């Protein structure tokens, strides 16, 4: 599995791993029932410690995105529509939060930001 990790990021490595796997699950790159690399395998592939991967997998398991079958492997869980929506909202907040804060700091009003977002939604709706 190809992940892009950087030790120069303020984001801890285990969070980079869990975020990227989460994104792959949401994007459908990792499908329900699909097997993930073992903890040791992922650690070797990504050149990080076993503990780092273990923490990432534990986070994903707590979120209900993956499950472990002891002695068999680690698998992508079935997501309900509610879980998918919650994850999409979380992802949007992560991405948009700093942009909105920057726009407010630059002097845009909440109404101007809302208008921009509404226009983007409209344009994206037209692309479908």
Report how far apart the first and last C-alpha atoms of the chain are (Å, whole number): 30
pTM of the model: 0.74
Is pLDDT above 70 for 118?
yes
Q: 73-97 pLDDT, tens per residue?
A: 999 999 988 988 888 898 889 889 9
| Average predicted confidence (pLDDT) for the chain | 92
Nearest-CA neighbor of 42 among 77, 68, 74, 64? 74
Mean pLDDT of 50-64: 97
- pLDDT at position 127: 60
Instruction: Give the whole-number percent of the chain exceeding pLDDT 90.
Output: 73
Mean pLDDT of 17-26: 93
Mean pLDDT of 55-66: 96
Is pLDDT above 80 for 126?
no
Mean pLDDT of 109-123: 93
* CA angle at 84 for the pair 44 and 15, rounded to the nearest 5°: 30
> Which phi and psi angles does 34 have, rounded to 5°?
-70, 145
DSSP string computed for 14-47: HHHHHHHHHHHHHTTSS-TTPEEPPHHHHHHHHT
CA pair distance 32, 78, nearest whole angstrom: 5
Mean pLDDT of 26-45: 94
CA pair distance 38, 68, nearest whole angstrom: 10
- The domains found in the chain, sorted by start residue, are 13-76 (1.10.10.10), 81-127 (no CATH)
């Amino acid at each position: 599995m190809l992940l892009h990790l950087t030790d120069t990021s303020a984001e801890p490595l285990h969070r980079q791993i869990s975020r990227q796997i989460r994104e792959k699950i949401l994007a459908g790159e990792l499908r329900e029932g699909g097997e993930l690399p073992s903890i040791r395998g992922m650690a070797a592939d990504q050149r990080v410690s076993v503990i780092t991967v273990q923490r990432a997998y534990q986070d994903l398991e707590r979120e209900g995105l993956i499950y472990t079958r002891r002695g068999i492997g680690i698998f992508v869980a079935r997501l309900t529509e509610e879980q998918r929506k919650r994850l999409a909202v979380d992802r949007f907040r992560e991405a948009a939060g700093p942009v909105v804060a920057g726009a407010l700091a630059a002097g845009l009003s909440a109404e101007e930001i809302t208008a921009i977002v509404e226009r983007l939604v409209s344009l994206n709706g037209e692309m479908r």
